[in-house]
Amino acid sequence: MALSYEQAAGRLMVALDYPSAEQARETIQALKGIPCYMKVGMQLFYTAGPDFVKELKSQGYSVFLDLKMHDIPNTVKGGANSITRLGVDMFNVHAAGGLKMMAAAYEGVISALDSDASLKKPLLIGVTQLTSTNQETLNREIGIQGSVEQSVLSYAAFTKEAGLDGVVASPLEVQAIKGQCGASFITVTPGIRPAGSSAGDQSRTLTPGEAIRQGTDYIVVGRPITGAPQPRDAAEQIIEEMMK
């Protein structure tokens, strides 16, 4: 079924990969009124910090804090507790940290919710194989044998077992993930490239329309919007394509 404008925009996550809050604010201003998700990653968070997340929340945005935690379980539990208290709508950990680490992240979320009844439960997502990873990198450099899809599905199974809400994967793996883990298991898919745009460092890509037709829940788009001469026009074109 075709998506409405609101539905499509709500499934678009704009990656605010900027070196300063000021630069991110320019894009936020350009996109004003578009009810998209905002994704804050390492580059922006390490410079602008929790205050910037709070600023986005005060403007009414849904926020995905993409810090991809990967550490010992106790540390990740503490990190998940702090992130939950920040009030984000979604955050993630690397599935490569293992079942215990992911379960600890979940415990961190629950402990934060238990300590403050006003908090909302964020979606907790496991990163499978980065969308920049191709078959050769996986086998030769990362040292995991088998296909990228097999590895993604294996991580997705452990992510589900740990009680998380879904995974980050490429749009190429969405159908297999949904087939294995169920339709309600959330897929968040970067590696989105509108036709004709440069792949850059992304290896496993589809266009916005193709990703939606694969059944993904959220598409993550950075440079095709932030690097466009008119970011608002680029975002509107992507939303239009998602609605077809």
Ligand X SMILES: O=c1ccn([C@@H]2O[C@H](COP(=O)(O)O)[C@@H](O)[C@H]2O)c(=O)[nH]1
Site residues, ligand X (CB under 6 A) = 15, 17, 41, 127, 130-131, 168, 190, 200, 202, 220-224
Residues 6+ apart with CB under 8 A from 61: 36, 37, 38
In whole angstroms, the minimum distance from the beta carbon of 37 to ligand X comes to 12
Given the residues 68, 77, 160, 178, select the one marked as catalytic: 68
User: Is residue 57 flagged as an active site residue?
Assistant: no
In whole angstroms, the minimum distance from the beta carbon of 15 to ligand X comes to 4
Question: Which residues are annotated binding-site positions for substrate?
Answer: 17, 39, 66-75, 131, 193, 202, 222-223
Q: Which is nearer to ligand X, 15 or 80 (CB)?
A: 15
Q: Which is nearer to ligand X, 81 or 205 (CB)?
A: 205
Q: Which is nearer to ligand X, 112 or 192 (CB)?
A: 192
CA distance 148 to 118: 40
Q: Which is nearer to ligand X, 8 or 152 (CB)?
A: 152
CA distance 6 to 44: 26
Instruction: Report which residue's Cβ sits closest to ligand X.
Output: 222
Question: Which residues are annotated binding-site positions?
Answer: 17, 39, 66-75, 131, 193, 202, 222-223
In whole angstroms, the minimum distance from the beta carbon of 127 to ligand X comes to 6
In whole angstroms, the minimum distance from the beta carbon of 163 to ligand X comes to 21
- Catalytic residue list: 68
